[in-house]
């Protein structure tokens, strides 16, 4: 008992004593920019950011004695004099997806797993109705709910057990169809769109464990068009016509006045 217990305790103690390093998961839209944290303090540091999944490549290297190397779109954006070696990726490419590691003098300080998402863009005029598309296989028994999230916050929760849609907004403009759910159509219907509805929407299945397709929809809401700046051909023709009619009327009345003046004399 004693001989079996000690190694187990030793392993446990070892596991507990392993240096705590941040492991972060980030989901980023393609072409957005993102920053991953890394702090490295010390007299003279060598900091290296690498991507180790799906294949190994060094994306940024920084040496205190001079010499910096960055791959295209990658840079160290933190204040290095304060030990902040945060990595910035400018305009994320689809192939930037993977796991990143920051090492400080050879020791891993932080790891980030980045998932690159592709968004479907939906454009709508203010006050119109709009449908944000999303599909997922709802035949699986474990698919019990669907969530639509806007900019990270919950917008709509559909619970299949009681076939009810829960929303944050009173008198809701956000709707999902129970019938469509059974067909795997999880689209979100928004009526009378507000300018503030614009944003990034995500569709998640089964307690957020699974993405719908497409996983991300960006809603762009356009305000009413202002006719001051745009003038169609018809409007121009009408204006010219109206202008001519007014001038003709003016001339006729002038002639009339001068005629009546002459006849009075
Ligand atoms: C940093 O290290 C160098 C040599 O390794 C040493 O000469 C210098 O005094 C150190 N500076 C500080 C602030 O510890
Ligand atoms: C349906 O079930 C969900 C989850 O259990 C709950 O949050 C929601 O309030 C329920 N809705 C109704 C109308 O009972
Ligand atoms: C928008 O949706 C609402 C609610 O579903 C409906 O009453 C209205 O007729 C729709 N408007 C248009 C222009 O389709």
Q: What is the tens place of the pLDDT at every residue in 123-162? A: 999 999 999 999 999 888 778 899 999 998 999 999 999 8
Q: Which residues line ligand 1 (CB under 6 A)?
A: 43-44
3-state secondary structure the chain: CHHHHHHHHHHHHHHHHCCCCEEEEEEEECCCCEEECCECCCCCCEEEEEEEECCCEEEEEEECCCCEEECCCEEECCCHHHCECCEEECCCCHHHCEEEEEEECCEEEEEEEEEEECEEEEEEECCCCEEECCECCCCCCCCCEEEEEECCEEEEEEECCCCEEEECCCCCCEECCHHHHHCCECCEEECCCCHHHCEEEEEEECCCCEEEEEEEEEEEEECCCCCCCCCCHHHHHHHHHHHHHHHHHHHHHHHHHHHHHHHHC
What parts of the chain have a pLDDT lower than 50?
1-4, 13-19, 228-230
Residue extents of the structural domains in the chain: 19-117, 119-222
- Do the domains at 19-117 and 119-222 have one common CATH topology? yes
CATH class of 19-117: mainly beta
Atom of ligand 3 nearest to the CA of 173: 4
Residue nearest to atom 1 of ligand 1 (CA): 43
Distance 159 CA to ligand 2 centre (A): 7
Residue in 125, 129, 130, 175 to alter for ligand 3 test, most ligand atoms within 8 A of Cβ: 129
Distance of CA 39 from the midpoint of ligand 2 (Å): 44
What's the gap in Å between 168 CA and the centre of ligand 2? 13
The bound ligand whose nearest atom lies closest to the alpha carbon of 190 is 3
Q: How many whole angstroms separate alpha carbon 147 and alpha carbon 69?
A: 43
Other Cβ atoms within 10 Å of 10 Cβ, number: 10
Fold classification of 119-222 (topology level): Immunoglobulin-like (2.60.40)
Query: Which ligand has the minimum distance to the alpha carbon of residue 43?
Result: 1
Question: What's the distance, Cα to Cα, between the start and end of the chain in Å?
Answer: 137
pTM of the model: 0.64
* Ligand 2, pocket residues at CB < 6 Å: 159, 162, 164, 166
Q: Residue whose CA is closest, atom 2 of ligand 1?
A: 43
CA of 233 from ligand 1 middle (Å) equals 75
Residue 245 C-alpha to ligand 2 middle, in angstroms?
A: 68
CA distance 184 to 179: 9
Which conformational region is residue 226 in: left (phi greater than 0), alpha (psi within -120 to 50 degrees), or beta?
A: beta
CA of 64 to the centre of ligand 1 (A): 12
| Burial class of residue 145 in the structure, from the number of CB atoms within 10 Å of its CB (0-12 exposed, 13-18 middle, 19+ buried) | middle
The token duo for 155 is: 């917008």
Nearest CA to ligand 1 atom 6: 43
Q: What ligand has the least distance to the C-alpha of 41?
A: 1
Which atom of ligand 3 is least distant from the CA of 129?
Answer: 1
């Amino acid at each position: 008992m004693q001989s079996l217990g000690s190694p187990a305790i030793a392993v446990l103690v070892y596991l507990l004593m392993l240096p705590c390093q941040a492991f972060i998961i980030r989901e980023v839209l393609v072409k957005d920019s993102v920053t991953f944290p890394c702090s490295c303090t010390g007299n003279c540091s060598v900091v290296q950011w690498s991507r180790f999944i799906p294949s190994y490549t060094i994306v940024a290297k920084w040496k205190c004695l001079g010499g910096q190397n960055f791959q295209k779109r990658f840079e160290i954006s933190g204040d290095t004099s304060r030990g902040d070696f945060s990595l910035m990726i400018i305009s994320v490419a689809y192939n930037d997806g993977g796991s990143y590691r920051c090492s400080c003098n050879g020791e891993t300080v932080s790891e980030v797993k980045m998932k690159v998402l592709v968004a479907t863009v939906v454009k709508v005029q203010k006050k119109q109705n709009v449908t944000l598309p999303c599909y997922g296989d709802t035949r699986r028994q474990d698919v019990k709910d669907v969530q639509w999230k806007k900019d990270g916050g919950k917008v709509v929760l559909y619970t299949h057990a009681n076939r009810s849609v829960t929303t944050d907004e009173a008198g809701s403009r956000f709707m999902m169809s129970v019938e469509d759910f059974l067909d795997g159509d999880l689209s979100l219907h928004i009526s009378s769109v507000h300018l503030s509805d614009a944003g990034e929407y995500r569709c998640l299945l089964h307690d957020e464990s699974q993405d719908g397709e497409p996983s991300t929809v960006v809603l762009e809401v356009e305000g009413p068009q202002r006719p001051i700046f745009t003038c169609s051909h018809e409007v121009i023709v009408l204006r010219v016509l109206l202008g001519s009619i007014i001038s003709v009327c003016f001339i006729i009345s002038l002639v009339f006045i001068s005629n009546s003046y002459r006849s009075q004399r």
